[in-house]
Structure 1
Amino acid sequence: MGQITVIGLGSSSIEQMPLGVYRELTKNEQVVFTRTLDHPVIKELMEEGTEFHSFDHIYENEDQFEAVYDGICQELINQARSRDILYTVPGHPMVAERTVQLLLGVKEDDVHVEIKGGQSFLDALFTSVGVDPIEGFQLLDGTNLNRKSIQYEQHLFIAQVYDQLVASEVKLTLLEDLPHDHPIKIIEAAGSEGEKVKTVPLHELDHDFTFSNLVTLYVPPAEVEVLHHQFSVLRNVIAALRGPGGCPWDQKQTHESLRKYLIEEAYEVIDAIEEQDDDHLAEELGDVLLQVMLHSQIAEDEGYFTVDDVIRSITDKMIKRHPHVFGDVSVESSEEVKQNWEAIKQQGRAEKSSVLEGLNESLPRLTYAHEMQKKASKVGFDWPESTGVFSKLAEELKEFEEAASNGNNQEVEEELGDVLFTIVNISRHLKVDPEVALHRSSQKFLKRFQFIEKRLQERDLNIEEQSLDQLEQYWNESKREV
């Protein structure tokens, strides 16, 4: 069985190399495989007689880094099947070395991988920028920088920034969250005699600097004010409002006292959508999110659940109910998606004694009627076409008119309810939300009535002194203007 012994070359000069590693590389008269010749120690060791075989040719032939690393790994395994080999990498084998991770993941009976020492470039980096890692730090790959994984409250080091193109991509990613003038340190050959440290504002990161394999970026922790768009900051703000020394109003709120605000904020979102005002919509969605955060914080304070449980619940639900996205189920249409959703929704639930069980009693009555009709429709209790519902509406209107002429208030109320219930049925058949439709009409009436008031004020007229015909003229004018 062949063995691959992986050795770290340290961060820069041969003086930093551990004595044991140096002896390992110079005692044997054999070819040493190395990921790249672009490292200061390689030249010094070659002058002392060590022969290196590099994989730089793979870098030149492949466009994607993963393909490069796969190619190196496969060639090393092929070589090790017939003999023991040494493989060197910059720094320490277990720090920012994708090829080593690939080798460790290989399941080959005839190849064994052993990791030996080497000095990591991290110690030199901490010294260069004067950072104690116990404060918390991240080391990320500049060639594969994922914005969602960055913790800006910590010291951030970004390695593999070997050319200007990578530096530009890193800059664009960081600008998503940081101000353009956030200071960035560019560190080259950390810990060596040729070490260079240059501080630039973020927007100039890819300007006037020659990048290489020895370059690492340092991003100091960001001020909290810069991170107000991040969820963790919002969570801390809500906790502070509810905590000791917080806001008296927020501290006394309960799930029950906040109920009306959630409904109000939901309608404000609808208004913003109707206005087609993106900035307003973002603001109103924030107000809805505030309600979620307050309810979650109240529950956390009382020891019931946290916002983590809220997020976990909806994440699990979305994955479970979308097997056509996260599983192996195939669908042909949105209707199939809805059918699957309902079928999955019923799994594990106790059998109901009535189809109409489980309706939310706190819903506005138009929505409540809409949901009730939907449930009845699923078992076939429905008009096959909307024309039948329109005929039913004509019938209900006639009954309502007769009740109104009789002057029996209880009967009028009942018949009016039947008219409204039928109108909700029509809206369902036409795929219109009755609550939204009524809200839009109410807002339209509000704007037009206020238009009339404004016109009368401009003419120094009292609305109560105007005839219905005069008001009708203003109303028609408002329909043209609003």
Structure 2
Amino acid sequence: MTILLLDPRWPTMIPMEARGHILAPISFADDVPVSVRWNFDDHVDGEDPAGVGTLVTFAAPPAADGRRVIRAASLDDPIDVARRIMAVARSRGEWEAGQTHESLLVYLDEEVAEFADAVRGGASDDDMKKELGDLLLQVLFHAEIASRRGAFDLDEVAQSFVDKMRSRAPYFFDGSTGPVHLDRQNKAWAAGKRAERL
């Protein structure tokens, strides 16, 4: 049996490595949307001589037991892995479940100070990377808390960054290339900031 492990964020993106290995009969895990099932016949490469076929799923099997597992590469995206770890931590960890935006502020302050100290102290790139990872933990934690109450999630935090850059640094989105002079950057940033206030 082949197990085709898709990313639930992009269920229609089938890994190229699956080509030639998607054999009928095809079975689907319960959480695979109907829209994926309807269009899946176009991707079947033939019949499995053993009659076992392919399982299409979002959930990794506990053990492959000799079965071929083809994973969507996006499942290994470090940002999404970090997000999933934080969701599990918030659900299963007693300490994590008890935290609030307010209770985490002391840790946020601490991590910002540690990163600043690392930069000022001439820390190695590896040390700065670890300190930034600690700051990312704080962003993930606050986004997960907000997501649980239906306020916003990590994607919306990222989108707020993109929106700010579109507003304040439009030259990064207009197809132009080459350096952008500081004077132009300052004027665009100020103009974007004014427009956001309207």
TM-score higher than 0.5: yes
**Residue 253 of structure 1, CA deviation:** 0.9
Instruction: Give, in whole Å, the separation in 2 of the partners of 1:285 and 1:332.
Output: 27
Instruction: Give, in whole Å, the separation in 2 of the partners of 1:282 and 1:345.
Output: 30
Matched, 1:262 2:183: no
Residues 67-99 of structure 1: CA distance to partner in whole angstroms, max 9, x if unpaired?
A: xxxxxxxxxxxxxxxxxxxxxxxx9xxxxxxxx
Instruction: Give, in whole Å, the separation in 2 of the partners of 1:121 and 1:303.
Output: 37
Tell me what 1:327 maps to.
174
**Residue 286 of structure 1, CA deviation:** 0.7
CA RMSD after TM alignment: 3.3
Instruction: Give, in whole Å, the separation in 2 of the partners of 1:252 and 1:343.
Output: 42
**Residue 322 of structure 1, CA deviation:** 2.0
**Residue 310 of structure 1, CA deviation:** 0.5
| 8 Å CA contact retained: 1:296, 1:306 | yes
Matched, 1:127 2:39: no
Tell me what 1:248 maps to.
94
Select the residue among 61, 70, 95 that pairs with 1:220.
70
- Secondary structure in 1 matching 2:188: helix
| 8 Å CA contact retained: 1:272, 1:281 | yes
**Structure 1 length as normaliser, TM-score?**
0.27
- Secondary structure in 2 matching 1:313: helix
Tell me what 1:341 maps to.
189
Residues 408-444 of structure 1: CA distance to partner in whole angstroms, max 9, x if unpaired?
A: xxxxxxxxxxxxxxxxxxxxxxxxxxxxxxxxxxxxx
| 8 Å CA contact retained: 2:89, 2:96 | yes
CA gap 1:322/1:332 in 2 versus in 1, 3 angstroms: closer
**Residue 221 of structure 1, CA deviation:** 3.3
Tell me what 2:35 maps to.
none
- Secondary structure in 1 matching 2:103: coil
Q: How many residues align?
A: 147
| 8 Å CA contact retained: 2:167, 2:193 | no
Where structure 1 has 5 or more consecutive residues not aligned to the other structure, the ranges are: 1-90, 92-118, 137-152, 155-217, 351-482
Where structure 2 has 5 or more consecutive residues not aligned to the other structure, the ranges are: 1-19, 21-40, 61-67
**Structure number with higher relative contact order (C-alpha < 8 Å, ≥ 6 residues apart):** 2
**Residue 312 of structure 1, CA deviation:** 1.2
1:377-396 equivalences under 5 Å are none
Matched, 1:275 2:158: no
- Secondary structure in 1 matching 2:71: coil
CA gap 1:348/1:285 in 2 versus in 1, 3 angstroms: closer
CA gap 1:306/1:342 in 2 versus in 1, 3 angstroms: same
Residues 293-347 of structure 1: CA distance to partner in whole angstroms, max 9, x if unpaired?
A: 1101111111211111111111222233222121267985122202211111110
Residues 446-475 of structure 1: CA distance to partner in whole angstroms, max 9, x if unpaired?
A: xxxxxxxxxxxxxxxxxxxxxxxxxxxxxx
Tell me what 1:420 maps to.
none
CA gap 1:297/1:121 in 2 versus in 1, 3 angstroms: closer
| 8 Å CA contact retained: 1:296, 1:310 | yes
**Residue 279 of structure 1, CA deviation:** 1.5
Tell me what 1:306 maps to.
153
Instruction: Give, in whole Å, the separation in 1 of the partners of 2:43 and 2:172.
Output: 42
| 8 Å CA contact retained: 1:272, 1:278 | no
Return the letter of the residue paired with 1:317.
K
Return the letter of the residue paired with 1:232.
D
Instruction: Give, in whole Å, the separation in 1 of the partners of 2:48 and 2:168.
Output: 51
Instruction: Give, in whole Å, the separation in 1 of the partners of 2:122 and 2:196.
Output: 42
- Percent identity between the aligned chains? 34
**Residue 128 of structure 1, CA deviation:** 7.5
- Secondary structure in 1 matching 2:56: helix
Instruction: Give, in whole Å, the separation in 1 of the partners of 2:117 and 2:129.
Output: 12
**Residue 236 of structure 1, CA deviation:** 1.5
